[in-house]
């Protein structure tokens, strides 16, 4: 079980010391998150047990199905914005017919997984951190350990598995809804027919783009679950600590999604 260790470092007296202290703290937190993720993945071998299977399905419903309304609205309007801005730029060269390919590639490679990750981090990740944080400050986690129940296996693994399954599914759904939203703008404001829009969208998209987007979504799901559960398990200071843990989980997930998304794109499209 990972806990937030007490800070025994001496007080800093200068800016370089404070910066070094923050770097050491960041490295330690990263290591603990990695250990927690590894423990949860090892516990996934029990995923077919009735209790864990039931909890995983419940978390899939909470994290996936209940997020569909928000994801749908964000995805449609993201596609509409992409189509409008890209179409206006292409119309200067009388090439607005290719707006479908621009929207499809943008959604598959970047915007679909990215927007899905941000929405789930804000909606689902914050809920996970708050729930586990409340359990921690109320000593419910300690009670599980007293009863010889592994909190990581009982609480984190179902949430991690649910995010690993639902994030790629929702990422693909976001891409398709964004393409549909872009098609509406192409027809109504750019004078591009639906058939022309879809032909260009499909012809220019590669299978690699789909795989890279789904891989990003998978990584984002792992990031959200790990950050949220870690902050929840390490919550202290009562109700104030629950709020701080929720805030840290969302901010940390946002930053990691941005950083990891860039490096994945860099690796797969380094031409």
CB 2 within 8 A of CB 29: no
At 9 the pLDDT is 59
Q: What is the rounded average pLDDT of the residues 40-46?
A: 87
What is the residue range of 65's domain? Answer: 15-268
Quickly count helices (H) and strands (E) in the chain.
12, 0
CA distance 63 to 74: 16
How many structural domains is the chain composed of?
1
| Domain membership flag for residue 4 | no
CA distance 118 to 123: 9
| Domain membership flag for residue 58 | yes
Res 198 pLDDT > 80: yes
At 12 the pLDDT is 65
Q: What would the pLDDT profile of 202-243 be if each residue is shown by its tens digit?
A: 888 888 889 999 999 999 999 999 999 999 888 888 888 888
At 113 the pLDDT is 93
Q: What is the rounded average pLDDT of the residues 58-77?
A: 90
Strand blocks (E) in 37-109: none
At 221 the pLDDT is 93
At 160 the pLDDT is 92
Counting every residue, how long is the chain?
A: 271
| Domain membership flag for residue 152 | yes
Res 7 pLDDT > 70: no
Res 10 pLDDT > 80: no
| Domain membership flag for residue 10 | no
Q: What would the pLDDT profile of 113-152 be if each residue is shown by its tens digit?
A: 999 999 999 999 999 999 999 988 888 888 888 888 888 8
CA distance 69 to 138: 33
At 176 the pLDDT is 92
Q: What is the rounded average pLDDT of the residues 168-195?
A: 91
At 1 the pLDDT is 53
Q: What would the pLDDT profile of 17-30 be if each residue is shown by its tens digit?
A: 777 777 777 777 88
Q: What is the average pLDDT score of the chain? A: 87
Res 69 pLDDT > 80: yes
Which of helix, strand or coil describes residue 11? coil
Q: What is the rounded average pLDDT of the residues 160-185?
A: 93
At 92 the pLDDT is 84
| Domain membership flag for residue 5 | no
CA distance 105 to 265: 13
- Residue found by looking up tokens 């039931």 in the block: 54
Res 40 pLDDT > 70: yes
Q: Which has more confidence, 23 or 261?
A: 261
| Domain membership flag for residue 144 | yes
| Domain membership flag for residue 27 | yes
At 115 the pLDDT is 93
């Amino acid at each position: 079980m990972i806990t937030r260790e007490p800070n025994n470092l001496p007080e800093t007296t200068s800016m370089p010391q404070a910066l070094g202290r923050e770097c050491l703290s960041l490295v330690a937190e990263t290591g603990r998150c990695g250990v927690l993720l590894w423990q949860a993945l090892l516990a996934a071998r029990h995923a077919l047990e009735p209790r864990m299977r039931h909890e995983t399905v419940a978390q899939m419903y909470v994290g996936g199905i209940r997020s569909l309304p928000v994801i749908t609205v964000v995805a449609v309007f993201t596609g509409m914005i992409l189509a409008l801005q890209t179409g206006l730029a292409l119309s200067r060269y009388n090439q607005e017919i290719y707006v479908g390919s621009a929207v499809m590639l943008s959604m598959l490679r970047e915007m679909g997984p990215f927007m899905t990750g941000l929405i789930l981090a804000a909606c689902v990740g914050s809920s996970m951190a708050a729930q586990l944080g409340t359990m921690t400050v109320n000593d419910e986690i300690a009670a599980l350990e007293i009863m010889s129940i592994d909190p990581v296996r009982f609480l984190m693994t179902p949430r991690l598995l649910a995010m690993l399954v639902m994030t790629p599914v929702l990422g693909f759904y976001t891409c398709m809804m964004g393409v549909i939203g872009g098609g509406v703008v192409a027809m109504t404001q750019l004078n591009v027919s639906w058939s022309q829009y879809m032909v260009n969208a499909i012809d220019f998209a590669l299978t690699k783009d789909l795989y890279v987007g789904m891989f990003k979504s998978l990584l984002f799901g792992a990031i959200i679950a790990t950050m949220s559960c870690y902050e929840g398990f390490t919550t202290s200071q009562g109700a104030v600590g629950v709020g701080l843990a929720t805030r840290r989980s969302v901010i940390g997930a946002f930053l990691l999604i941005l950083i990891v998304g860039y490096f994945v794109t860099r690796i797969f499209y380094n031409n």
